[in-house]
Amino acid sequence: MTLRVTVDIYSGRPNPTIELDDRQSADLLDRLAPERRLDDTEAVPPTEPVLGYRGVEIEQIGEADAALPRTFRLAGGQVHGRGLAHATRDAAVEEWLLGGDGPLRDRLDVDTEFFALADAGRLSLAEKFSPVLLDPHIHVLFPAPCACSPLYEPAWWNVPGRQPYNNCYNYATNYRTNTFAQPGKAAGAQYTQLTSASVRPAALADELIDGGAATASTCPARGTWWPW
C-alpha cells in the first residue's frame, strides 16, 4: 500500500507531492485512523478557499484501507472526505507529518522556510475553523475600467476539467491554458523570485497592462486574447 501526500499550500504553483513507502504509509494510516465522528457542533474545514496552507491531501494508491476513502484531506487535526468527518486516533498527526520527525521533511524539494510557513498555517487554520460560514453567494462588485473585464464566473472554472490545471494567474487574466501558467513564462521572461520587483515585469512581458496606467483607451477590446 502506498500513500500519495500533497501539502496544499501554494496558489500559483504546483503543490509539493511525494509518495510514501509501505512502512511510512502504514505508520501514517495508523495515526489517521478515525477515532470518532465529528458532530454538527464541532469545527469543520471552511468551504471557501484561502491563501496559504489549506491542509494535506492524501490519496491511497493500490490496495486501500477500507476505513478511509480513496482520497481525503487532513486539516486542523481532522480528516474529511466522502462520508468521512472524523477526529484522528493521533490528535497530533498533522503536526508530526509536517515536523522534523515526519516523513516529509527530508524528501520534499522545498525551500528552508516552507515547513515553518506550513506549521504556522496549520495552527492558524485550526483556530479559524468554525461551523458558521459566510454566504458564498454574497459578493461585492466594483466598477470595471476596461471593456474587456471578465464576468465573475467562478463556476466555469471550478470543474474537474479546468480547476486542477489552471491557477490564480489563469483566473486573474481570464485565460485558460491548462498549464498552471506563470507570469512571463510564455514570453520567455518568467519571474525569478516571488517578489513584486520580479513578477511585475514578467506579467507586463505577457502584455498585461500596468493597473496604475490603465485607461479605457489602453485596455484591449472585449474578446481580445493575450498571445500566451
Alpha carbons 191 and 182: distance in angstroms, whole number? 8
Extract the runs of DSSP E, i.e. beta strands, from the chain. Answer: 2-7, 17-19, 34-37, 56-61, 71-75, 78-81, 84-88
Domain boundaries, the chain: 2-128, 139-228
The pLDDT value recorded for residue 11 is 80
Q: Which residues 6+ apart lie within 8 Å of 204 measured at CB?
A: 210
d(CA 8, CA 2): 19
Q: What pTM did the predictor assign? A: 0.60
Does 157 score more than 90 pLDDT? no
Give dist(CA 225, CA 66) in Å, integer.
Answer: 48
Return the C-alpha torsion angle 100, 5, 178, 53, nearest 10: -50
Given this model, what pLDDT does residue 217 score? 60
Cα–Cα dist 132/135, whole Å? 9
For the segment 135-156, the average pLDDT, to the nearest whole number, is: 57
- 193 to 52, 115, 182, 198: CA distances (angstroms): 17, 19, 12, 6
pLDDT tens digits along 30-84: 999 988 888 776 766 655 567 788 899 999 998 888 888 899 999 888 888 888 8
Q: Which residue has the higher pLDDT, 50 or 23?
A: 23
Q: In what order do the strands lie in the sheet with 71-75?
A: 17-19, 2-7, 56-61, 71-75, 78-81, 84-88, 34-37
pLDDT digits (tens, 9 = 90+) for 166-186: 888 888 888 888 888 899 988
**Per-residue pLDDT tens over the stretch 206-220:** 888 776 666 656 665
Note whether 58 and 7 are within 8 A (CB): no
Grouping H, G, I as helix, E, B as strand and the rest as coil, residue 86 is strand
- What is residue 90's predicted lDDT score, i.e. its pLDDT? 92
**34-37 vs 84-88, strand pairing mode:** antiparallel
Helix, strand and coil content of the chain, in percent to the nearest 5, comes to: 25, 15, 60
% of the chain residues with pLDDT over 70: 77
Average pLDDT of the chain to the nearest whole number:
79
Say whether pLDDT at 137 is over 50: no
pLDDT band at 221 (very low <50, low <70, confident <90, very high): low
